[in-house]
Amino acid sequence: MRLPRQALLQGSQDPEGLDALIDVADQVLRTWQPQWSCFVSAPLREDAVQRLAVLTELQIHADGGRPEAERQRLLISRCEGGTVPQEEHPLPVMGLEVEGNFLFDPVDPHDMRAAILELGIEAGHLGDLWIRGDRGAQLLCTPEAAVALHGRSGRVRDVDIQLEERPVASLQLPQSRVPKRFASVEASCRLDAIASAGFGLSRAKVVDQIRSGRLRLNWQSVRQASKDLRVGDRLQLQDRGSVEVLALERTKKDRWRVHMERR
């Protein structure tokens, strides 16, 4: 059996990435062997799960190596014979420590990831990455990338970095966030107003996050602070989690009561 590739790709925002996942699914159907994909972005993961999950022959499990991981790998398997316990096919993942002195030259995750990619590693081998103050960063990656990068050195702008393989259990993972539901009354449904209430930031800081590209709407970069949000829209802010708009209600004073969930 072959999957309806063209139908699955129709309307995808990342057809190249989805096409690669369809290749994995096709191989699973041919060989009957479960297989892990590379690390994929959150929007591609959600798109792929939604599109492939409707196929009764397949089942999909996503795991990024830590709770609330943004970049995850997909375990694709056949449905015949019942569910495939994840314990029989554990996530292939390792940790990396990236050490450097960033006391006088603060680094952000984008620059750190770019420096690692310059060492010849493909993006699909790298999972989530988080900065550890002025000491460098930690990240999750495939075992193959961990072996290839262990003991390597590089540079982030003018700062030298050293990479060392680490077991995931030894990493200081970012703290997990407990989902919180709450409501706020706002004059409008503007993105900057809801983001300010949802993330607990001033409007000015929200605008700064938009300009820097750190604030995203439904995983896409957004440049318009005045954009009106709708129910179901999700805001993602680097290092601060996400906020989803659950409901919008008009008040008697013609304002908006915004119901949100922050993760």
Residue 90: the pLDDT is: 93
Residue 143: the pLDDT is: 98
Q: Which domains does the chain have, with CATH numbers?
A: 5-88 (3.30.1370.160), 94-170 (3.30.70.330), 180-262 (3.10.290.10)
* C-beta pairs of 165-169 under 8 Å, 24+ apart in sequence: 165/94, 165/95, 165/96, 165/97, 166/94, 166/95, 166/96, 166/97, 166/138, 167/94, 167/95, 168/65, 168/66, 168/93, 168/94, 168/95, 168/140
| Token digits of residue 229 | 């949000």
- Average pLDDT for runs of 10 along the chain of length 263: 86 94 94 95 93 88 92 91 71 98 92 96 97 96 98 96 97 89 95 95 93 89 92 90 95 96 94
Cα–Cα distance for residue pair 84/75, rounded to 1 Å: 10
Predicted structure pTM score: 0.85
Residue 57: the pLDDT is: 87
Based on the number of CB atoms within 10 Å of its own CB, is 168 exposed (0-12), middle (13-18) or buried (19 or more)?
Answer: middle
Residue 82: the pLDDT is: 58
Residue 239: the pLDDT is: 74
